[in-house]
């Protein structure tokens, strides 16, 4: 029996003082102002304009116009009782070509945003990269090209010099698995390439860029600043308990999780990953000194979780099913493991088709706590998309999202009771926004956005989350 198993079902789940209650967003998904104040196209600007890549040709040109409405959005955060806000910086807004000096108008926007947050009592957490590579760097080779990692380290220093006196928490990358394997492997994300070797090269250079950025941040930030990274780690489950299915789990764990955890936290790529991908590459793009550059001390690990991943082996001659929740591309995002089958677990699903299973978050947190007990954890993304409807009185009642959040916060509390050092929780997302290849068709926000008027309306889940944030207490049962 674990400590959490002994907690009475009627007991209130109390989170410790100082626990961060936040929400998260990403620059291209909310800012808009795509061509203002010196900003140049990123790979997502280009991808969104490519016919057939994004739902109904939607783009982030306007998004939810956060660039002009950030003051009202910060007031909204404060009104909801948030103590922290995680946002990303648009690389092409700050450094339009991906190299050279910064554009001060771009940095000034983030200076104003951070000042507004601090004045409202909301702690900023800056993510340096949330998928929006400057197009000029992609034209020069993108993440499969080593120079992009070097440019990323330089960019990190520019942002740290501008914001380091007032931002105390930083993440280098958000979900590099998506950048590498959806962007260069399956092609369902920008820049839309379908080359498994390029995807593996991109993964290494994202790792290297992370390490160089950590070094740059440490050099520029005052002592006491915290630096981490946000990973969308896959909580894997075998379809059955067969040896073949357990091998499938190991293979996806290698290319989905340990491709990041190995070099970042242990200083080496896992040997089984190298063996699994030997038919594709000899990994000669890993140069002497790279692994020590990647393996930098971190102050926390950001964990993004939405749903578990169920896999199995494929019987000889049978077709491969790939219901992995990462878009219906013709090419696999799993180099070296593209013959593994993916399945959706039975039960309730979100509007994304993802199964609702908070136990996966508990299992992931306790795994990480067991493997790296000295490393604090932050839930940097967790949330769900549903088919939200606006009532006649203008309100938006979303009981499914409340139930989702309640279950996952309960899983976080359980993991903490059982020894996981979790320091905060960031709901994805603060408000409805551009959901990448799904355009504006999927709503993850706790705040509803009318895309015609851009009016913000807190949903019932936002009011529920605000009560949890203000009290630090999770109700025994969800009040939906």
Give the catalytic positions in this structure: 175, 381
105/83 Cα distance (integer angstroms):
27
Q: How far apart are CA 70 and CA 116, in angstroms?
A: 9
User: Who contacts 427 (Cβ-Cβ below 8 Å, separation ≥6)?
Assistant: 22, 23, 24, 382, 383, 405, 446, 465
Q: Which two tokens stand for residue 94?
A: 């700050």
Q: What is the C-alpha to C-alpha distance for residues 197 and 130, in angstroms, rounded to an integer?
A: 22
Roughly how many angstroms between the first and final C-alpha of the chain, as a whole number?
30
Alpha-carbon distance of 169 to 86, in angstroms, equals 9
* Beta strand pairing call for 236-238 and 13-14: unpaired
Q: Give the helix/strand (H/E) hosting 127.
A: strand 123-129
CA–CA distance, 96 with 41 (Å, rounded to integer): 8
Start-end of H helices in 254-391: 259-261, 271-276, 290-294, 359-371
State the Cα–Cα distance between residues 72 and 426, nearest whole angstrom. 20
Which token pair is 252?
A: 């996806």
Nearest to 61 by CA among 91, 31, 40: 31
Helical spans, DSSP H, in 164-270: 176-177, 196-220, 243-253, 259-261
Identify whether the C-beta of residue 132 lies closer than 8 Å to the C-beta of residue 42.
Answer: yes
Peptide bond before residue 290 is cis, with ω within 30 degrees of 0: no
CB 234 within 8 A of CB 253: yes
Residue 118 tokens, joined: 């601090």
CA distance 408 to 360: 9
The C-alpha atoms of residue 257 and residue 303 are separated, in whole angstroms, by 11
DSSP 191: T
CB 361 within 8 A of CB 283: no
The set of residues, in sequence order, having a beta carbon less than 8 Å from that of 222 and lying 6+ positions away, is 164, 165
Q: Which of 333, 301, 326, 324 is nearest to 437 (CA)?
A: 326
CA dist list (Å): 171 to 18, 96, 177, 223 = 19, 21, 15, 16
Closest CA to 200 of 151, 263, 153: 263
């Amino acid at each position: 029996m674990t400590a959490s198993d002994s907690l009475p079902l009627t007991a209130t789940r109390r989170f410790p003082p100082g626990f961060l209650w936040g929400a998260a967003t990403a620059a291209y998904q909310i800012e808009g102002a795509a061509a203002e104040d010196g900003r140049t196209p990123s790979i997502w600007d280009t991808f969104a304009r490519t016919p057939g890549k994004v739902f109904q040709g939607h783009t982030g040109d306007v998004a939810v116009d956060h660039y002009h409405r950030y003051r009202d959005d910060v007031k909204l955060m404060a009104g909801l009782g948030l103590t922290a806000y995680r946002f990303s910086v648009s690389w092409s807004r700050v450094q339009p070509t991906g190299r050279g000096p910064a554009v001060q108008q771009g940095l000034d926007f983030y200076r104003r945003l951070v000042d507004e947050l601090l004045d409202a009592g909301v702690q900023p957490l800056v993510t340096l990269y949330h998928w929006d590579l400057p197009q000029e760097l992609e034209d020069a080779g993108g993440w499969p090209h080593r120079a992009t990692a070097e440019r990323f380290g330089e960019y990190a220093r520019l942002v740290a010099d501008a914001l380091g006196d007032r931002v105390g928490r930083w993440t280098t990358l958000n979900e590099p698995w998506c950048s590498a394997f959806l962007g260069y492997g399956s092609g369902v994300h920008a820049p839309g390439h379908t080359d498994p070797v390029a995807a593996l090269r991109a993964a290494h250079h994202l790792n290297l860029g992370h390490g160089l950025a950590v070094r740059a941040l440490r050099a520029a930030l005052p002592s006491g600043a915290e630096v981490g990274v946000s990973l969308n780690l896959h909580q894997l489950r075998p379809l059955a308990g067969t040896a073949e299915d357990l091998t499938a789990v190991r293979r996806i764990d290698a290319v989905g999780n340990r491709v990041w955890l190995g070099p970042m936290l242990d200083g080496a790529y896992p040997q089984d990953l190298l063996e699994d991908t030997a038919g594709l590459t000899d990994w000669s793009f890993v140069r002497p000194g790279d692994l020590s550059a990647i393996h930098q001390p971190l102050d926390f690990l950001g964990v993004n979780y939405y749903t578990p991943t169920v896999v199995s082996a494929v019987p000889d001659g049978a077709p491969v099913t790939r219901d992995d929740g990462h878009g219906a591309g013709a090419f696999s995002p799993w180099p070296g493991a593209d013959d593994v089958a993916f399945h959706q677990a039975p039960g309730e699903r979100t509007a994304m088709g993802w199964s609702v299973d908070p136990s996966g978050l508990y299992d992931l947190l306790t795994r990480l706590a067991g493997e790296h007990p000295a490393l604090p954890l932050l839930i940097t993304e967790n949330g769900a998309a549903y088919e939200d409807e606006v009532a006649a009185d203008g309100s938006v009642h979303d009981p499914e999202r409340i139930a989702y959040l309640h279950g996952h916060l309960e899983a976080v509390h359980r993991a903490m009771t059982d020894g996981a050092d979790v320091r905060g929780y960031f709901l994805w997302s603060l408000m409805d926004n551009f959901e990448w290849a799904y355009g504006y068709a999927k709503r993850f926000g706790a705040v509803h956005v009318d895309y015609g008027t851009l009016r913000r309306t807190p949903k019932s889940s936002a009011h529920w989350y605000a009560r949890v944030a203000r009290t630090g207490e999770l109700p025994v049962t969800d009040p939906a």
